Copies of this chain bind each other. A is one copy, B any other.
Amino acid sequence: MFVLGVDPGLSRCGYCVLRIGDGAPRAAALGVMRTDPDMDVPRRLAELRDDFRGLLDEFEPRSVAVERVLFQVNVRTAMGVGQASGVLMAEAAARGAEVVEYSPNQVKDAVAGHGDADKEQVQKMVQILLDLPAPPHPPDAADAAAVALTHVAMSGVLR
């Protein structure tokens, strides 16, 4: 059974597929979907949608955990992130997956033990929890792994 975590974004969208079985969760896929900033936004959203569909086709995750979009200093970035998250959530829900959002603080708290953990601490904890040879890069991939791990911890999916 698979859980898919995503850190939504238009330029870089982190994803992590966790394989849930006996023992600790392990990363079956981990990376970043990118779109070209020189393309127009609708086409970038359509590309992101197609890449995300590829993940849903391959792993058929039972649950999709999404890092909740907060309003940031950069309004333009926040809107792109919101649009990307809408596309991802609609696709996952249409497939019948459970879709759950977690706030950045919930994720940091679940993975690193406190809500004000920095990016390096999250990357390091993801490395340890998933028994990876190195901290995942870029941070978007680590954040996606962290939100997937948060869902595993908070939903009791292992029980």
Interface residues of A (CB under 8 A from B): 40-43, 45-46, 48-50, 69, 71, 75, 79, 82-87, 89-94, 99, 101
- Measured between C-beta atoms, what is the minimum distance from A54 to chain B in Å? 14
Integer count of this chain's copies in the complex: 2
- Measured between C-beta atoms, what is the minimum distance from A28 to chain B in Å? 22
- Specify which chain B residues have a CB less than 8 angstroms from the CB of A94 in the assembled complex: 46, 49-50
- Specify which chain B residues have a CB less than 8 angstroms from the CB of A93 in the assembled complex: 42-43, 45-46
With contacts A40-B99, A99-B40 taken as known, whether A46 is within 8 angstroms of B90 at the C-beta atoms is: yes
- Measured between C-beta atoms, what is the minimum distance from A14 to chain B in Å? 17
Q: How far is it, in angstroms, between the C-alpha of A60 and the C-alpha of B75 when the chains are bound? A: 33
